[in-house]
Structure 1
Amino acid sequence: MRESCQHCGFEFRLNVVSDRRTSTKYLRAGCCNAPLRPCPDPNELLRSPNITTNECEYLQRLVDLDWFSGKVAAVLLQIEAKVKTSGEVRA
């Protein structure tokens, strides 16, 4: 069963938008463009001692990208959730 958007009720899709001035990426609902939250930053996630070698390699490929697809954002959210449940990110 597909997930419904809590904002518009249609089929939820994840979308990433980039602020042209700051290069900060934000997550938005792709169905209605409702703002959700900032996109996880691959640089921050790389500082975690709790990521696997595969996750580290994946994140390193994303660091310099100007934009992410919804699928990439979903993977970033999964890695972020893992990092948060296993401990804090190193400074």
Structure 2
Amino acid sequence: MRESCQHCGFEFRLNVVSDRRTGTKYLRADCCDAPLRPCPDPAELLRSANLTPSERDYLQRIANLDWFTSKVASVLLQIEAKVKVSGEVTS
């Protein structure tokens, strides 16, 4: 079952947009372009001690990319949630 967008009601899809000046990445709803939140930063997540070797390798591979696919953003959100549940705060 697909998730509906809380902003427009259509099928929700994640989109990552990069600010060309700062390089900061933001998550937006692909269906209606509604802003959601800043994208988790792989470099910040790498500071966590609670990562598996495969998660650490993944984050190191993508840390310097200029843009992310929605699939990469979804994985980053999962890793971020795991880090937060472990009690570590990324900032």
User: Structure 1 residues 30, 63: closer, same or farther in 2, change over 3 A?
Assistant: same
Q: TM-score, normalised by structure 1?
A: 0.96
Distance 1:55 1:86 in 2: 15
Structure 2 residue runs of 5 or longer lacking an equivalent are none
Distance 2:90 2:11 in 1: 37
The code of the aligned residue for 1:28 comes to R
Map 1:44-59 to 2 at 5 A.
Answer: 44-59=44-59
Q: TM-score, normalised by structure 2?
A: 0.96
Helix, strand or coil for the counterpart of 1:6? coil
Structure 1 residue runs of 5 or longer lacking an equivalent are none
Structure 1: which 4+ aligned runs deviate by more than 3 Å? none
| 1:18 is the counterpart of 2:18 | yes
Q: RMSD between aligned alpha carbons?
A: 1.2
User: Structure 1 residues 31, 23: closer, same or farther in 2, change over 3 A?
Assistant: same
